[in-house]
Amino acid sequence: MTKNFSLLETRMSPEARARSDELHREHVAEMPSKGSRPSKAYASVWDAVSDTSAEAANLRVRSELMQQH
């Protein structure tokens, strides 16, 4: 836990802290177990976040251009 988050937690009301803890438990419960594998493998992160291959190609080119500057 980071220092800033620890400081924030000390300033939270008991109700806010309880809600934060509840959300954390829900999030952890939804996480896949260590032994499970993703349902689909992607060639790149751009393929994973894009709806189409054209959009993925566009994002890939934009990323490469930004890295050159």
Shared-domain flag, residues 22 and 47: no
Contact between 47 and 56 under an 8 Å Cβ cutoff? The reply is yes
pLDDT at position 1, please? 45
Residue 69 lies in a domain: yes
What pLDDT is attached to residue 54?
A: 93
Query: What pLDDT sits at residue 6?
Result: 62
Q: Is the pTM of this model over 0.85?
A: no
Q: Quick check: is 57 in a domain?
A: yes
What are the tens digits of pLDDT across the range 40-61? 788 888 899 999 999 999 999 9
Q: Which residues contact 49 (CB under 8 A, 6 or more apart)?
A: 56, 59
Kindly state whether residue 8 falls inside one of the protein's structural domains: yes
Alpha carbons 63 and 45: distance in angstroms, whole number: 11
Among residues of the chain, what percentage have pLDDT more than 90? 17
20 and 45 part of one domain: no
| Domain region containing 15 | 1-31
Neighbours of 47 (CB within 10 A): 17
Assigned domain for 36 exists? no
Q: Quick check: is 66 in a domain?
A: yes
Cα 18 → chain centroid? 23
HSE, side-chain direction, 13 A CA sphere, residue 50: 15
In this structure, the answer to whether residues 52 and 26 fall within a common structural domain is: no
Query: How many domains in the chain?
Result: 2
